[in-house]
């Protein structure tokens, strides 16, 4: 079929001046875009050409937002002043409730941190040029500390800042870039700055509904590279890395672009495993995780239209007694262990991984795909997004909990707002 397509492409475009470029791309997949990068003032000037432009718009918009936040934070950077303002407006009961919650400390910390890095001189000195090869645009952006503070600012009072600060430093290692892409996007949107992803696959048209980073123009590009480009365009200071290759159990199976699973997970603080390769899944959740004692692994699956997220870790003896978040009989465990070394055992192992949660429609799809009459054993876009959201929440819980402690009685105070002038 490839030869036939190439022949018809030549018939249509062979006489065009751009045919040599099309012919080159027929030799293999080419990703047309490159990720943005942070560059110095000198590099931005050196790379100037007639088709490159410069933009202050992102910088000026962020400065306006910072200025508005400074007005509020100056009023509450002193914890005593914060309590006094609540007391004067809503009364002593509300002030006492605020003292008992973690929100007051978070507001004070955020305010002090923002004020410490947002003087006009600091804002200008810490700004960086962001070079985007895709748009041929240099955009001036506020510095990394302010960028992170603005990223998490709308989580104030909803997610504990201690958890978000922990997430910022957490090394998340992701196996798979389809369903996991939405989870990585959510974690970066919560301020995580260190995410690596490995996936050998290319973006396919049928996969677009599950990929937050993909457009029709990305079809044929490596999924992991497209994900990293997407993350860097939204969070340019992050340490986001892509491995366009397969994560393999050992060196003997390693191709030129592949990476061993143990090598990829060596510095992981959190593992997110959403790969389609059954041999890889099994090795990660048994052999590899046992070498990472105490490291949580998030296993997500979309069964039919329902999301599934489970946390797997070693037990007190350093063993993985519940891979895939379930108990295993001795017979089942032998099937699972066999899949690590024999890819022909993949289908029975895959069934055992999810059999406790498998709905009828997904069971039928799986059965038909195993006998070769169903193209995919796959997920709906809805369940895919739900799984990613649940995985992000589970990671927040692993890092210290999500919701700050709020004492009872808050709702009883709300009617007092009607009395404010």
Q: What are the average pLDDT values for consecutive 10-residue runs of the chain, which has 421 residues?
A: 69 78 68 77 72 88 93 82 76 75 86 94 92 88 96 93 96 94 95 96 89 87 93 94 90 71 95 88 91 91 75 89 88 86 78 75 74 74 89 94 71 63 54
| Per-residue model confidence (pLDDT) at position 408 | 65
The 3-state DSSP class for residue 192 equals coil
**pTM score:** 0.88
Output Rg (C-alpha) for the chain, integer angstroms: 25
Q: Residue 380 burial (CB < 10 Å; 0-12/13-18/19+)?
A: middle
The 3-state DSSP class for residue 238 equals coil
Q: Rounded to an integer, what distance in angstroms lies between the CA atom of residue 304 and that of residue 307?
A: 8
| Per-residue model confidence (pLDDT) at position 355 | 75
Q: Rounded to an integer, what distance in angstroms lies between the CA atom of residue 224 and that of residue 35?
A: 12
| Per-residue model confidence (pLDDT) at position 415 | 66
Residue 247 to residues 23, 82, 260, Cα–Cα distance (Å): 31, 51, 5
Q: Are 232 and 131 in contact (CB under 8 A)?
A: no
User: What residue spans define the domains of the chain?
Assistant: 39-158, 161-322+378-398
Q: Are 99 and 119 in contact (CB under 8 A)?
A: no
For residue 283, which of 316, 320, 308 has the smallest C-alpha distance?
A: 320
| Per-residue model confidence (pLDDT) at position 88 | 77
CATH number of 161-322+378-398: 3.40.50.720
Q: Rounded to an integer, what distance in angstroms lies between the CA atom of residue 71 and that of residue 356?
A: 54
Q: Residue 137 burial (CB < 10 Å; 0-12/13-18/19+)?
A: middle
| Per-residue model confidence (pLDDT) at position 292 | 92
Question: Tokens 């005593």 appear where?
Answer: 80
The 3-state DSSP class for residue 135 equals coil
């Amino acid at each position: 079929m490839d030869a036939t397509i190439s022949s018809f492409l030549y018939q249509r475009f062979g006489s065009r001046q751009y045919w040599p470029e099309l012919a080159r791309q027929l030799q293999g997949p080419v990703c047309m875009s490159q990720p943005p990068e942070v560059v110095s003032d000198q590099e931005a000037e050196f790379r100037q050409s007639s088709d490159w432009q410069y933009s202050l718009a992102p910088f000026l918009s962020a400065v306006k937002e910072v200025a508005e936040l400074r007005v509020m934070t100056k009023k509450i950077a002193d914890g005593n002043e914060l309590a006094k303002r609540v007391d004067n407006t809503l009364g002593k009961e509300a002030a006492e409730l605020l003292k008992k919650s973690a929100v007051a400390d978070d507001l004070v910390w955020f305010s002090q941190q923002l004020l410490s890095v947002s003087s006009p001189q600091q804002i200008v000195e810490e700004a960086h040029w962001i070079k985007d090869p895709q748009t041929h645009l240099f955009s001036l952006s506020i510095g990394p500390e302010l960028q992170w503070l603005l990223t998490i600012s709308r989580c104030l009072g909803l997610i504990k800042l201690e958890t978000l600060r922990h997430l910022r430093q957490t090394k998340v290692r992701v196996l798979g870039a389809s369903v996991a892409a939405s989870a990585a996007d959510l974690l970066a949107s919560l301020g995580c700055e260190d995410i690596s992803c490995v996936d050998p696959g290319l973006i396919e048209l049928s996969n677009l509904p599950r990929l937050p980073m993909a457009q029709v123009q990305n079809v044929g590009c490596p999924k992991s590279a497209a994900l990293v480009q997407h993350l860097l365009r939204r969070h340019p200071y992050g340490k986001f890395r892509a491995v366009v290759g397969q994560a393999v159990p050992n060196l003997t199976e390693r191709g030129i672009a592949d990476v061993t699973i143990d090598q990829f997970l060596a510095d992981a603080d959190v593992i997110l495993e959403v790969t389609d390769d059954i041999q890889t899944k099994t090795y990660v959740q048994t052999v590899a995780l046992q070498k990472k004692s105490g490291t949580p692994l998030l296993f997500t699956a979309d069964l039919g239209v329902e999301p599934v997220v489970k946390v797997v870790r070693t037990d007190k003896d350093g063993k993985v007694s519940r891979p895939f978040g379930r108990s295993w009989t001795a017979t089942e465990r032998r099937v699972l262990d066999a899949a690590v070394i024999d890819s022909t055992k993949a289908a029975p192992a895959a069934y055992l991984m999810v059999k406790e949660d498998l709905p009828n429609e997904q069971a039928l799809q799986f059965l038909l795909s195993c006998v070769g009459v169903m193209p995919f054993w796959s997920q709906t876009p809805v369940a895919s997004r739900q799984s990613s959201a649940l995985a992000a929440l589970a990671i927040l819980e692993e890092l210290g909990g999500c919701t700050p402690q709020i004492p009872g009685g808050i709702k009883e105070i709300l009617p007092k707002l009607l009395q404010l002038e």
